[in-house]
Structure 1
Amino acid sequence: MEREKIKAGELTLRPFEAEDIPWVYEVSLDPAVQRFLEIPNPYRMADAEYFVRKMAIAGWDDDSRAEFVIEDGAGERLGRVGFGLAGLGQGVAQIGYWLDPAARGRGVATAAVLMLCGWGFERLGLELIEWRAEVGNVASRRVAEKAGFRLEATLRQRLRHRGVRVDAWIGSMLPAELPTRPG
């Protein structure tokens, strides 16, 4: 899959580069990221390098992922938003996102999710985008709901976190449900 940049207003979504590794490492040490994401603990620089090189960058090459860094107009990194594309052949993707602590509370995640969903429906021909989060991750749920995802269910022990099964919220969005077409 060809790497693309997505621009709307002051935000740009751009594919990851090797230069993002130290930033991913720093953000991944944040307690909220540690609490809700299934990432190694303790988190090491090698883990950030694996994510950026083997998942975010290589995912474009094997069509398994479309991962983006969220940047503001000045090029400051604000967060990450991406699709897992295991279901691309069936027109389905799973969305995920996290923000640098300094970017939280400003609507960045919701705007980036809307941008990515619009791109996914239009450029990838997606028919359904799924969102999942561990029960209790209220910030992620708030972003998903503001972006137009419909909460469908609480799935019992559907996710694994630090080797323990946990309940998950699940929601989805269809193309006609995208509330705003990003500019």
Structure 2
Amino acid sequence: MVTPLDVPRLVAGDRFVLRPWEFGDLALVREASSDEHIPLITTVPSTYSQEAGEAFVRRQWERASAGSGYPFVIVRVEDGQPLGTVGLWLKDLNEGRASLGYWVVESARGQGVAAEALRAVAAWALGDLQIPRLQLYVEPWNIASRRTAERVGFQREGLLRSWQRVGEARRDMIMYSMLAVDLP
């Protein structure tokens, strides 16, 4: 029997909060749909419609209710604006590891949004949830995402050749990991 997960509200630094997805986040899904890369590597619809946006939000709820992970929306405290997402995925939890993924819409990039969110979820996962190992994957060309992972304290482990399908092609990924001893 699968235990549904309760996605908590987490504080991410002074400027952001992480919370569960809501239908009020459809403008975020719309902006992400128009991004050149986000729909290729996520379940964000590549063509936005109200129906497709709502289906995306429902999938996030289903992930938590099915026990597969914790999908968070990153929200700016100052104005309540949703800026992106970070997810903690538990597929390999019985092996003592979980994976993380994140994206931020173009209008919010370059402001430390992803780093603050990733830091908050990693600290919660390693501390409160006592997950021994966290890992994430970044395409080699994505310098900004690589810097985000490294700034938070993730350690680069190596290149995984032809690791993941992105769009229509197999792509290399750089694997990063974090253990509790890596927390700043």
- Write the mapping of 1:29-108 to structure 2, written as runs, cut at 5 A: 29-34=34-39, 37-39=41-43, 42-45=46-49, 46-54=51-59, 56-73=60-77, 74-108=79-113
In structure 1, distance between residues paired with 2:170 and 2:159: 13
In structure 1, distance between residues paired with 2:46 and 2:104: 19
- TM, length-normalised to structure 1: 0.88
SS at match of 1:31: coil
Runs (4 or more) in structure 1 with deviation over 6 Å come to none
In structure 1, distance between residues paired with 2:9 and 2:43: 26
Give CA deviations for 1:75-127 in whole Å, capped at 9, x if unaligned. 11121111111012233111111112121111111111100101111222211
Aligned length, in residue pairs:
177
SS at match of 1:141: helix
Compared CA separation, residues 5 and 40, structure 1 to 2 (3 A)? closer
1:160 lines up with 2:165 in the alignment: yes
Q: Which runs of 5+ in 2 are unaligned?
A: none
Cα distance, 1:28 vs. partner? Answer: 2.3
SS at match of 2:110: coil
Residue identity (%): 33
Give the equivalent residue in structure 1 for 2:22.
17
1:136 lines up with 2:141 in the alignment: yes
1:116 lines up with 2:121 in the alignment: yes
Cα distance, 1:30 vs. partner? Answer: 1.8
- TM, length-normalised to structure 2: 0.87
Cα RMSD over matched residues? 1.8
Give CA deviations for 1:32-84 in whole Å, capped at 9, x if unaligned. 435x6255774333443333212x11111111020111111121112111111
Give CA deviations for 1:9-39 in whole Å, capped at 9, x if unaligned. 22100011122234212222122435x6255
Cα distance, 1:176 vs. partner? Answer: 1.3
SS at match of 1:119: helix
Question: Is this contact kept in 2: 1:129–1:172, CA < 8 A?
Answer: yes
